[in-house]
Amino acid sequence: MWGNLENCFACGQENPDGLKLSFSYEDNFSRASFCLDEKFQGYPGIAHGGIVATLIDEAMVHVLMREGLFAVTARLKLKFHQPVPLNKELVVEGRLKDTNPAKGLNYLEALIKDGKEVLARGEGVFVQQDEVVAGE
């Protein structure tokens, strides 16, 4: 359905410049551990905000992919609580909050955590697609 995702920047295992996230799943929940090195830097020692947004977006969409749904991001809202450090093992978690099947809308949230401390939080609205429309 999605084609070859091995070159996806976030989860593709063959993308030499990517994050290479590997998710585990439980019900309507996704989780991946990661450690960002200097190539993902914004300010010294801190992850670039766009990379943080990518991590949050990916955790949310993986909840839907696990259910066999192809959806694209319609809206993404982020809150940065603390800087996301480089060279430290962290976790990103995504969770389905609600759906509107009649409109093909899915409402999700995601967190980046250092232990129990939340570093960044995101909410997203994802629109289901019938099929991949680009890159086939």
- Give the per-residue pLDDT at 23: 96
Each residue's pLDDT tens digit in the chain (136 positions)?
456 788 899 998 999 999 999 999 998 899 999 999 999 999 999 999 999 999 999 999 999 999 889 999 999 999 999 999 999 999 999 999 999 999 999 999 999 999 999 999 999 999 999 765 444 4
In a domain, 110, yes or no: yes
In a domain, 10, yes or no: no
State the residue range of the domain holding 105: 24-128
What's the whole-model pTM score? 0.91
Looking at the structure of the chain, the number of domains it has is 1
DSSP 67-105: TT--EEEEEEEEEESS--BSSS-EEEEEEEEEEETTTTE
Cβ contact 106:96 at 8 Å: yes
In a domain, 11, yes or no: no
In a domain, 101, yes or no: yes
CB atoms closer than 10 angstroms to residue 94:
28
In a domain, 7, yes or no: no
In a domain, 62, yes or no: yes
Q: What is the CATH number of the domain that holds 85?
A: 3.10.129.10
Q: Which residues contact 4 (CB under 8 A, 6 or more apart)?
A: none
